[in-house]
Amino acid sequence: MIATDIPPPLEVDPARRIFGLETEFGLHLDTGAGRPVTPEEVAGHLFHSVVQWGRSSNVFLTNASRLYIDVGAHPEYATAECDTLTDLIALDKAGERIVHDLIARGEERLRAAGVDGTIHLYKNNTDSAGNSYGCHENYLVRRRADFKAFASALLPFLVTRQIVTGAGCITRTPSGAHYSFSPRADHMWEGMSSATTRSRPMINTRDEPHANAELYRRMHVIVGDSTMAEPTTLVKMGTTDLILRLMEARVVMPELTLAREMQSIRDVAHDLPGRATVELADGRHLTAVEVQQTYIDLVRSHLGGVIAVTPEVEDILDLWQRGVDAVRTQDFSAVETELDWAIKHRLVMRYRDRLGCDLGDPRLARLELAFHDVSPDRGLYYRLQAQGLVRRIVTDAAIERAMTTAPQTTRARLRGQFVERALAVGRDFTVDWVHLKIAGSSGTTVLLKDPFRHEDARVDTLLDALTLA
């Protein structure tokens, strides 16, 4: 039975937004000689402890986030709904630690199955076989009739933002290797589509708002790179949010429609010097720096109006500008502790110089991979962090808390309470982004259509029912 006494939506501040981040991790087993092991078997052992307590390899955690094995044996972690970027960053980092904590048990089980090896989980977007996997951004937006036009207006921004938000990578070609802004750009096939596997769009337009569909849509951006540095995640989500805020306020956007999005995203990715131009539909040619600067100037012109000035907005704008300036001047030093592509560029170039090799050297490929290893001991990103070489946005204590505790200001709080209580009393339950249900009971399914609502008497009743039964 579905409860019908759905409370009316709370008064929603138009500046409030729900954010979510999905990360697919690369999974790799390092093993010597021995029997061959499929990725599915490794994933199965890795998730054994999850299946033991959750009875599935697709679960919601007490921090209200979702953990599951995606197609291709990729562990995926989707953060719970956040309404602040700092909550989102803490929850995203918590996900890295949660998947990392599965490794020890997974290796034990592999040993018991006769395989001695080390499991690695990488927060990156491509594997050595050339497969690409994603980092998906979710932004709640108000529903409108012209959603497709609305979403496509975001494309020139998404194609060029990689000069700031890209993860950076070594690209190998038959004519040699070079350093690019984004590993994901080469794997995009089209601007928008409702499919994610058959085609690779930059924006997935499948209409699945995980919220009241009369009021909302979920902008599902799937073109972004997974990012290690907290400020890069801040600027990736933060700049996109600022552009969406202007668009939702019906600010007239600059005419920057691209003539060929797919060509442009690749050209920009492979142009570290920042000189390549993208062709606009109106025949003009602009560099990615010029396109991004247009957006920065537009946002600045609405500060104090559509966009309230907060320390966080100032921080995002400052880093956005410094990122664009770094490409313009080719002096990366002002962002090399904050932007993934620049942090990794510095690391890779130092080793190249030390080894006296060229960029295509396999030792640099291993270095690049190790940068994305989520292990706090082995991961090179975490070594840099331990040396104070990357700027932080959230504290370790906040990340630690986010491993078990849901954000307190969104629907995630209710889901977190429910999962925690159900596990504590040993009751079976089913949960998704909008439903909470005690399994097998004649009881109620609570439908949570408002992602901003973090208090709900129906959930209190459900929590009581869990304990009483």
Ligand X SMILES: Nc1ncnc2c1ncn2[C@@H]1O[C@H](COP(=O)(O)OP(=O)(O)OP(=O)(O)O)[C@@H](O)[C@H]1O
- Give the nearest distance from C-beta 380 to ligand X in angstroms: 27
Judge whether 22 is annotated as a binding position. yes
Position 220: which residue type?
A: H
Nearer to ligand X, 18 or 163 (CB): 18
Judge whether 53 is annotated as a binding position. no
- Give the nearest distance from C-beta 379 to ligand X in angstroms: 23
Catalytic residue among 5, 13, 30, 70: 70
- In three-state form (DSSP H/G/I as H, E/B as E, the rest C), the secondary structure along 204-267 is ECCCCCCCCCCCEEEEEECCCCCCCCHHHHHHHHHHHHHHHHHHHCCCCCCCCCECCHHHHHHH
Q: Which residues contact 309 (CB under 8 A, 6 or more apart)?
A: 303
Nearer to ligand X, 66 or 245 (CB): 66
Nearer to Mg ion, 78 or 324 (CB): 78
Residue 24 C-alpha from the chain's centroid = 9
Residue number, nearest CB to ligand X: 20
Binding mask 360-379 for Mg ion (x = CB under 5 A): --------------------
The listed partner (ligand X, Mg ion, none) that binds 62, CB under 5 to 8 Å by sort, is none
Report the interface residues with ligand X, using CB under 6 A: 18, 20-22, 66, 78-81, 138, 140, 208-211, 218, 220, 433, 451
The listed partner (ligand X, Mg ion, none) that binds 207, CB under 5 to 8 Å by sort, is none
HSE of 261 in the Cβ direction (CA atoms, 13 Å)?
22
The listed partner (ligand X, Mg ion, none) that binds 140, CB under 5 to 8 Å by sort, is ligand X
Q: How far apart are CA 18 and CA 410, in angstroms?
A: 8
Q: How far apart are CA 3 and CA 358, in angstroms?
A: 64
Q: How far apart are CA 80 and CA 138, in angstroms?
A: 11
Burial class (CB in 10 A: 0-12, 13-18, 19+), 89: buried
- Give the nearest distance from C-beta 17 to ligand X in angstroms: 8
Judge whether 139 is annotated as a binding position. no
- Residue 87 sits in the site that holds Mg ion (CB under 5 A): no
Q: How far apart are CA 221 and CA 202, in angstroms?
A: 6
- Count of residues near Mg ion by CB under 5 A: 1
The listed partner (Mg ion, ligand X, none) that binds 135, CB under 5 to 8 Å by sort, is none
The listed partner (Mg ion, ligand X, none) that binds 79, CB under 5 to 8 Å by sort, is ligand X
Q: What is the dihedral of CA 161, 166, 170, 173, to 10 degrees?
A: -40
Pick out residues in 445-464 that bind Mg ion (CB under 5 A). Answer: none
Q: Which residues contact 430 (CB under 8 A, 6 or more apart)?
A: 437, 439
Strand bridging mode 74-78 / 66-70: antiparallel
Residue 78 structure tokens = 């989707």
Q: Which residues contact 428 (CB under 8 A, 6 or more apart)?
A: 55, 422, 438, 439, 440
- Give the nearest distance from C-beta 285 to ligand X in angstroms: 35
- Give the nearest distance from C-beta 76 to Mg ion in angstroms: 6
Pick out residues in 14-73 that bind Mg ion (CB under 5 A). Answer: 22
Nearer to Mg ion, 209 or 231 (CB): 209
Judge whether 312 is annotated as a binding position. no
Nearer to ligand X, 75 or 451 (CB): 451
Is 146 part of the annotated catalytic residue set? no
Q: Name the strand (E) or helix (H) holding 165.
A: helix 162-165
- Give the nearest distance from C-beta 66 to ligand X in angstroms: 5
The listed partner (Mg ion, ligand X, none) that binds 410, CB under 5 to 8 Å by sort, is none
Under the rule (CB under 5 A), what is the footprint of Mg ion? 22
Annotated binding site: 22, 66, 68, 76, 79, 433
Active site residues: 70
Annotated binding site for Mg(2+): 22, 68, 76
